[in-house]
Chain A
Amino acid sequence: MATEEKAQSHKPPRNVHSPQEWLRQNLFNTWYNVILSLLSIGFILFISKGILTWAFTEAKWSVIPANLQLILIGSYPRDQIWRIWTVIYLLSVLLGMSAGIWHGIVRRFAIILACVWLICAIIPFQLATRGLFLGIVVSIAISYLIASNKISWHRWIVIGWLLSFPMTMIVLRGFGENAVLTSNWGGLLLTLILAIVGICASFPLGVFLALCRQSKLPAIRWISTTYIETIRGVPLITILFMGSVLIPIFMPEMNIDQVVRMMIGITFFSAAYMAENVRGGLQAIPRGQTEAAHALGLNYPKTMLFIVLPQALRSVIPAIVGQFISLFKDTSLVSIIGLIDLLGVAKSITANREWLGLQAEVYLFAAVIYFVFSYSMSYVSTEVEASLGVGNT
Chain B
Amino acid sequence: MANNTTNIPFWRDIRVLRVLFQILFLVGVILLAGLLYTNMQRGLKNLNLELSLDFLENEAGFLISEGIEYDPSDTYLKAFWVGVMNTLRVSLIGVVCATLLGLFFGIARLSSNWLVRKIATVYVECFRNIPLLLQILFWYTAILRFPLVKDSFSLFNSVYINNRGIYIPALQSGTGLSTWIVFLCVGLIIATILYIIRWRQLKQMDIPGFRAKWALPAFVVVAICGWFLTPGKPLATELPVLNVFNFSGGLRLTPEFTAVLIGLSAYTGAYIAEIVRSGIQAVSKGQREAARAVGLNGAQTLRLIILPQSVPIIIPPLTSQYLNLAKNSSLAVAMGFPDMFAVGNTILSQTGQSIPVFAMVMLSYLTISLTTSAAMNWYNSWINRKGRS
Contact = CB atoms under 8 A, between A and B. Distances in A.
Interface string B109-127: 0011111100100000110
Nearest to A358: B141
Interface in A202-258: 216-220, 223, 230, 232-238, 241-242, 245-246, 248-252
Nearest to B141: A359
Contacts of B116: 36-37, 40
A250 B43 contact: yes
Interface string B30-57: 0000001001101110110000000000
Interface string B1-34: 0000000000000000010011101100100000
A40 B126 CA distance: 18
B119 A233 contact: no
Contact of B141 (A26, A246, A360): A360
B114 A27 contact: yes
Nearest to A363: B138
Given A219-B25, A241-B358, A366-B134, A252 B39 contact: yes
Interface stretch (A74-82, A145-153, A367-375, A380-388): A367-375
Contacts of B39: 249-252
A: contact size bracket: 35 or more
Interface string B121-159: 000011011111111011001100000000000000000
Contact of A332 (B25, B133, B370): B133
Interface string B68-85: 000000000000000000
A154 interface: no
B362 to A, nearest CB: 5
A38 to B, nearest CB: 10
A237 B119 CA distance: 32
A235 B328 contact: yes
B288 interface: no
B131 A238 contact: no
B138 A26 contact: no
Contacts of A252: 39, 42-43, 46
Q: Interface SS of chain A: helix, strand, loop or mixed?
A: helix
Contact of A343 (B26, B112, B131, B348): B131
B333 interface: yes
Contact of A375 (B40, B119, B125, B358): B125
A249 B355 contact: yes
B: contact size bracket: 35 or more
B93 interface: no
B354 interface: yes
A250 B36 contact: yes
Contacts of B211: none
Nearest to A30: B112
A333 B331 contact: yes
B366 A374 contact: no
A219 B22 contact: yes
Contacts of B22: 217-220
Interface in A3-34: 26-27, 29-30, 33
Given A242-B358, A250-B40, A250-B43, A237 B330 contact: yes
Which of B18, B46, B137, B365 has the most chain A CB atoms closer than 10 A to its own CB? Answer: B137
A30 B113 CA distance: 10
Contact of B134 (A223, A241, A363): A363
B334 interface: yes
A219 B26 contact: yes
Contact of B119 (A44, A350, A371): A44
Contacts of A325: 129
Given A26-B114, A234-B362, A246 B354 contact: yes
A217 B26 CA distance: 11
B130 A233 contact: no
Nearest to B349: A245
A347 interface: yes
B130 A329 contact: yes
Nearest to A32: B113
A370 B330 contact: no
B115 A374 contact: no
Contacts of A220: 22, 25
Contact of B137 (A217, A219, A246, A363): A363
A242 B36 CA distance: 14
Contacts of B111: 36
A41 interface: yes
A40 B25 contact: no
A43 interface: yes
B21 A335 contact: no
Contacts of A33: 112-113
Nearest to B368: A233
Given A220-B25, A248-B43, A252-B46, A332 B112 contact: no
Given A238-B358, A346-B134, A375-B125, 10 more contacts: A27-B115, A217-B18, A217-B22, A219-B26, A234-B327, A241-B358, A249-B39, A325-B129, A329-B131, A343-B137
26 contacts: A27-B115, A40-B119, A43-B119, A217-B25, A218-B22, A219-B23, A219-B26, A220-B22, A223-B26, A233-B323, A234-B362, A235-B327, A235-B365, A237-B341, A249-B47, A329-B129, A329-B131, A343-B131, A346-B134, A347-B137, A359-B141, A367-B130, A370-B130, A370-B134, A374-B128, A375-B129
Interface pairs A-B: 3 shortest CB-CB: A374-B129, A249-B43, A26-B114
